Structure formats: C-alpha cells, structure tokens
C-alpha cells in the first residue's frame, strides 16, 4: 500500500474513533498536527507539575508542625509523580523525556503561569491548595475524557490525588482562620494575591484562544477556557464565604439571569507578561530546575555506569524466570544482572528525574 493510501485509511479510522468517543492509542495512525498538539499540551502540563514543586517545596523546612510538614512532603512528592505520569504519556507519542526537559530549561516550552508567583507566607501554601489546585481540578477533570488514551489515564490518576491537595489546603486555611487576627490577615493577604492569577490559569479568553476550536473538535479539550473559568468562580465563591475571606473583586456578584457569578475584567496584559517570561519568579524557577538537572547529572551517570558494570559482570538472575515464578514478589531483594540491551533506540531519552532529585526538589 502506498503511504498516501495508508494515510487516507488511517485518517478515516482516526476520525471515526474520535466520533465514537473512543480513545486514540499510541500505535494508532494520527494526524501530525494532533500528535504535535498532544505532545505540546502534555509536556507543558508535565513541566507545570515539576516546576509546581518549587513554590510549596520552599515551605517544607519551615512548616509550622510535623503534621503540616508530612502533608506538604506528600503533596510535593505527588506533584513530582504527576509530572512523571505525564512525561510517560508524552513518551508514548515519540517525545523524548530528556529532550522535553531541555526544552523547558531553554525556555522553548512553557509551563503554567501560576508558578511564577512567590509564596510569601505559610498561608500561601493553603491558598495554593484551595485555589490553584482547585482551578487545576476544574481544568483536569474533563481531561480524564480526553481523546488520547495515555493522557486521559494519567489524568485519572492525577485527579484522584488532587482532591487531597485541595482539601489539605482548605483545612489549613480554616485552621488559620480560627487562629489569631494576624493569621486571619495572612490568609486574606494570600487570597488577595492568588485570586486573579488563579483565574488566569484557564488561559486567554475564548475570543483569543485560536487553538480551542481544533482541540475541541479532536476532543482533546471538552470545554472552553471561559466555561471552565466560570465554573471555578461559581465553585469558589461559597467556599470563600464559608472560610470567611473576601475575594478581591468589587464586581463579583450573583447574576440571577445567567445563574452564574459575574466577575470583573481580568488583567490580560499581566498574563501575557508572565507567560512571556517576565513574571516575578520566572527566572528563579528555571534557574532552580536547571540547577537540579545539572547537579543530578552525576547521580544519573553513576547509576547508568553501575548498571552497565552489573551487566558486564554477568549477574546470574534471569528476570523472565522471576516473573513467572513465585519469586516475582521478592525481585527487589535479588541482585539483577539482566540481559545486556543496547541503550540506543528512538524511545530512549535520559531519565531526568532521579529519586535523589525528587527528594531534593521536595
């Protein structure tokens, strides 16, 4: 069959699969533009999770109690995990993990604008959980039905875990609101600083979002930016009331006709500025990521050298037998020689996030 014919058949199957609301899987034929869009979106999402470890990670050593420290550690570890689920999904499209990290560090791929704001007090940790993770949940729940299978499956895992993130944040804020006047002021101040950037997380307004129509047609996205933003506002207002804080928007009020909250105009010039690299923390976030990558390089090299040496020494244990037999569950305790495989091949990027680095980032 000619390539053209394969393409024509492939396109028909692809379109029919999308129309039937079924998932596209890695080895299916897909339009180049679909593949490119998916890689860009998944990579950007993965980068956001990894960069997103920093604002809260900064508070782990200064958490006010052992309980809060343990919670924060678990949360930041989750963010690392989310990044890795997503890089894993991107790799099914032929992207290379090491290459994606390089693109992030060199500023050729973006991450969510929200992580370019500083975390000034411990109340920021709570507000990030409540508002930033709340906005992320709004964005991500529909992505569990995204048309690309590995992405949708990663999102299901992520959404399950995000719920803990949001609730721990809200609980932290409730605790502070029951505290001193100074603590209540800290919460209100954090809300004032994070509310508008949280609304910007949904991206530009629909009128200025050129990719939305195509992404909706491909069922990558299920709702427009403005629909999701409205949903988030409607969810957040009663939560703010229950907490006893005010949201910093004089135009925020219930509209009985629309049956939604109206809200004020977002400062889109700020979003543009932050996205294009000129937010308060852009340079520091990337510098930190670059440093973690560089300082972790010797660990990755050493692990690879160790694995190569074990292969050379011809470790005796035969992996397939292990998997078949009852010993499979104790594999971790055995020394593994494994079979000498070439480390080449198109899907072999460098694993950028060593265990050591996750700890460091956390």
Partner 1 sequence: MSGEIKHEWPLFEVFVRAKRGLNHVHVGSLRAADHEMALHHARDLYTRRNEGVSIWVVRSDDVVASGPDEKDAFFAPSGDKVYRHPTYYAIPDSVPHI
- Which one of 81, 142, 149, 205 is in contact with partner 1 (CB under 8 A)? 81
Q: In angstroms, what is the minimal distance from the CB of 50 to partner 1?
A: 13
SS3 assignment, position 339: coil
Residue by residue, DSSP assigns 267-295 as -HHHHHHIIIIISTTHHHHHHHHHHHHHH
Q: Nearest-CA neighbor of 261 among 280, 235, 286?
A: 235
Q: Which is nearer to partner 1, 218 or 353 (CB)?
A: 353
Q: In angstroms, what is the minimal distance from the CB of 304 to partner 1?
A: 4
Instruction: Give the footprint of partner 1 on residues 261-290 (CB under 8 A).
Output: 290
- Which one of 23, 75, 165, 300 is in contact with partner 1 (CB under 8 A)? 300
Instruction: Give the footprint of partner 1 on residues 54-73 (CB under 8 A).
Output: none
| Interaction mask 92-131, partner 1, x per CB under 8 A | x---xxxx-xx--x--------------------------
For residue 299, give Cα distances in angstroms to 101, 304, 357.
17, 9, 9
Rg of the chain, C-alpha, whole Å: 23
Instruction: Give the footprint of partner 1 on residues 154-213 (CB under 8 A).
Output: 154, 161
| Interaction mask 322-351, partner 1, x per CB under 8 A | -x----xx-xx-xxx-x--x-xxx-xxxxx
Taking the C-alpha atoms of 40, 42, 46 and 48 in order, what is their torsion angle to the nearest 10 degrees? 70
Q: Nearest-CA neighbor of 65 among 180, 163, 164, 176?
A: 176
Q: Which is nearer to partner 1, 101 or 225 (CB)?
A: 101
- End-to-end Cα spacing for the chain: 52
Q: Residues touching partner 1: how many (CB under 8 A)?
A: 62
| Cα distance between residue 5 and residue 2, in whole Å | 5
Q: Which is nearer to partner 1, 141 or 319 (CB)?
A: 319
| Cα distance between residue 155 and residue 76, in whole Å | 17
- Which one of 28, 206, 267, 318 is in contact with partner 1 (CB under 8 A)? 28
Tally of helices (H runs) and strands (E runs) in the chain: 15, 2
Interaction site with partner 1 (CB under 8 A): 13, 25, 27-29, 74, 77-78, 81, 84-85, 88-89, 91-92, 96-99, 101-102, 105, 150, 153-154, 161, 290, 293-294, 297, 300-301, 303-304, 306-308, 310-311, 319, 323, 328-329, 331-332, 334-336, 338, 341, 343-345, 347-353, 355, 358
């Amino acid at each position: 069959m000619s390539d053209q014919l394969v393409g024509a058949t492939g396109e028909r199957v692809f379109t029919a699969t999308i129309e039937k609301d079924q998932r596209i899987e890695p080895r299916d034929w897909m339009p180049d533009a679909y593949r490119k869009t998916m890689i860009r979106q998944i990579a950007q999402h993965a980068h956001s999770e990894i960069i997103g470890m920093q604002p809260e990670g900064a508070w782990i050593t200064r958490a006010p109690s052992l309980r809060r420290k343990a919670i924060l550690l678990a949360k930041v570890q989750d963010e690392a995990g989310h990044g890795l689920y997503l890089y894993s999904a991107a790799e099914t499209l032929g992207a290379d993990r090491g290459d994606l990290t390089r693109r992030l560090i060199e500023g050729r791929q973006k991450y969510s604008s929200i992580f370019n704001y500083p975390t000034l007090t411990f109340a920021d940790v709570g507000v990030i959980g409540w508002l930033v993770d709340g906005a992320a949940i709004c964005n991500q729940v529909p992505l569990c039905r995204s048309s690309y299978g590995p992405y949708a499956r990663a999102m299901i895992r992520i959404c399950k875990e995000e719920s803990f993130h949001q609730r721990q944040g809200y609980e932290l804020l409730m605790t502070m609101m029951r505290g001193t006047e100074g603590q209540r002021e800290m919460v209100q101040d954090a809300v004032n600083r994070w509310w508008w950037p949280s609304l910007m997380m949904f991206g530009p307004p629909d009128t200025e979002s050129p990719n939305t129509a195509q992404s909706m047609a491909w069922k990558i996205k299920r709702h427009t930016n403005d629909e999701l933003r409205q949903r988030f506002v409607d969810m957040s207002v009663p939560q703010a009331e229950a907490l006893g804080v005010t949201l910093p928007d004089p135009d925020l009020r219930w509209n009985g006709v629309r049956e939604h909250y109206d809200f004020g105009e977002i400062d889109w010039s700020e979003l543009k500025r932050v996205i294009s690299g000129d937010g308060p923390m852009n340079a520091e976030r990337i510098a930190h990521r670059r440093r973690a990558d560089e300082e972790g390089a010797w660990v990755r090299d050493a692990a690879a050298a160790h694995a190569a040496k074990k292969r050379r020494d011809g470790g005796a244990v035969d992996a397939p037998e292990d998997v078949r037999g009852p010993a499979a569950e104790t594999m971790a305790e055995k020394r593994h020689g494994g079979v000498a495989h070439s480390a080449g091949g198109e899907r072999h990027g460098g694993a950028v996030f060593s265990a050591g680095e996750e700890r460091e980032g956390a």
